[in-house]
C-alpha cells in the first residue's frame, strides 16, 4: 500500500451466472473463444454443508458456495485459512419475498428457518459451517456498486492484515412485486482469492485507486454489456475479462458517489 493506491494479488477466481458455469468455462467466453449464450444458471449442490443445513438453503446461498469453492479450488488453497468478504445487493431475495408474503397474510407466523436466513450475513454463517473457517468475515452491500465496494474491502483486509482474503460477490433476483422495484434479471456471483504478497500461484496484481474523472468501463460484446448493466455482481465483468485474457489493463469499475474504482492489472 502506498499513497492513494492499494495493491493485492489474485490467486484464484470463481464465476457462475447465466451461461457461465465455473471459471474455466467462463474464461473461454470472456476471451472470445466461445459465444456467450444466455441460459439458466447451473449450480452444483452445496455438498460441503451437512444434510440438515443443506435442506434449508436457497439459490442465494448455493450461488455463494459455488463461486467461493470455485475460486478456492482454482487457487489450490485451504478455505479454512481465508478471511472472507461477502458482498451482495440483496442477499437472499427469494427468502425476503417469502417473509413479506407471510407477513401480508392472515397467518403472520414466520418460520424460524426463514427468519434465520433473512440476515444479510447469512452466507458468511453457512460458509463457516461448510469450511470450518474461524477467520474474520465481513458482509456488506452498496446497491449497484456492490462489487467495487466488496473488492475494495477485501483488498484492504488482505493488505492491512497481511492475510489471504476471499471475496464472494453475489446477486439473485427478487420475485414480483419487488422485482418491478429492483429488477435483477439473473443470478450471478464472482469469487476472488486475494493475497497481500505475490506467490508462485499469483495470476495478476491488482492496484486499486479511486478516480473522479473516469466513467466505468463497458464491454465490447453487446450481450455481455447488457448483463453487466443489469446485475450488480456483473459490474465485475470488465475486470474478469482482463484477467481471463491474461493481459495488462486499466479497468474502471462503477463505485459510489462519483468516485469510481480504477484497477490496474499487471501480470
What are the boundaries of each domain within the chain? 10-198+218-247
The pTM of the full predicted model, rounded to 2 decimals, is: 0.92
Checking if the pLDDT of 224 tops 70, the result is: yes
* Residue 49 phi, psi dihedral angles, 5° rounding: -85, 150
Query: Which pLDDT band, with edges at 50, 70 and 90, does 147 fall under?
Result: very high
The whole-number average pLDDT for the span 23-46 is 93
pLDDT higher than 80, residue 61 = yes
| Confidence at residue 3, expressed as pLDDT on a 0 to 100 scale | 52
pLDDT at 120 over 60: yes
Share of the chain above pLDDT 90, in %: 69
d(CA 190, CA 151): 11
Q: Are 206 and 37 a contacting pair, CB within 8 Å?
A: no
- Residue linked to cell 485451504: 78
As a whole number, mean pLDDT of residues 60-79 equals: 95
**What is the rounded distance in angstroms from the CA atom of residue 167 to the CA atom of residue 85?**
5
Q: Tell me what the mean pLDDT of segment 82-88 comes to.
A: 96
Calculate the average pLDDT of the chain: 91
Instruction: Of 261, 265, 13, 11, give the one whose Cα is nearest residue 142.
Output: 261
Q: Please say if the pLDDT value at position 151 is more than 60.
A: yes
Instruction: Kindly indicate the confidence band of residue 97, based on its pLDDT and cuts at 50, 70 and 90.
Output: low
- Is the per-residue pLDDT at 202 higher than 90? yes
According to the CATH classification, is domain 10-198+218-247 in 3.40.50.360?
no
The percent of residues in the chain predicted with pLDDT above 70, rounded, is: 97
Q: What is the pLDDT of residue 116?
A: 67
pLDDT, average across residues 176-189: 87
Residue 38's φ and ψ, nearest 5 degrees, are -60, 130
Amino acid at each position: 500500500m502506498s499513497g492513494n493506491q492499494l495493491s493485492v494479488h489474485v490467486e484464484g477466481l470463481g464465476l457462475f451466472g447465466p451461461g457461465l458455469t465455473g471459471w474455466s468455462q467462463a474464461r473461454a467466453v470472456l476471451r472470445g473463444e466461445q459465444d456467450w449464450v444466455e441460459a439458466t444458471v447451473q449450480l452444483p449442490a452445496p455438498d460441503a454443508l451437512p444434510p440438515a443445513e443443506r435442506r434449508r438453503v436457497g439459490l442465494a446461498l448455493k450461488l455463494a458456495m459455488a463461486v467461493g469453492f470455485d475460486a478456492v479450488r482454482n487457487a489450490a488453497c485451504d478455505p479454512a485459512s481465508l478471511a472472507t468478504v461477502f458482498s451482495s445487493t440483496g442477499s437472499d431475495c427469494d427468502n425476503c419475498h417469502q417473509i413479506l408474503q407471510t407477513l401480508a397474510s392472515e397467518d403472520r407466523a414466520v418460520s424460524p428457518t426463514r427468519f434465520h436466513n433473512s440476515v444479510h450475513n447469512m452466507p458468511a454463517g453457512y460458509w463457516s459451517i461448510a469450511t470450518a473457517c474461524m477467520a474474520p468475515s465481513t458482509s456488506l452491500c452498496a446497491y449497484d456498486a456492490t462489487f467495487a465496494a466488496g473488492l475494495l474491502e477485501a483488498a484492504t483486509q488482505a493488505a492491512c492484515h497481511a492475510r489471504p482474503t476471499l471475496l464472494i460477490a453475489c446477486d439473485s433476483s427478487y420475485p414480483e412485486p419487488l422485482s418491478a422495484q429492483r429488477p435483477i434479471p439473473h443470478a450471478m456471483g464472482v469469487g476472488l482469492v486475494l493475497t497481500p504478497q505475490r506467490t508462485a500461484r499469483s495470476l495478476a496484481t491488482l492496484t486499486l485507486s479511486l478516480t473522479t474523472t473516469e466513467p466505468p468501463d463497458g464491454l465490447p460484446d453487446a450481450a455481455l454489456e447488457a448483463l453487466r448493466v443489469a446485475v450488480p455482481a456483473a459490474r465485475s465483468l470488465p475486470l474478469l475479462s482482463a484477467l481471463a485474457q491474461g493481459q495488462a489493463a486499466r479497468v474502471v469499475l462503477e463505485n459510489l458517489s462519483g468516485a469510481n474504482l480504477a484497477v490496474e492489472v499487471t501480470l
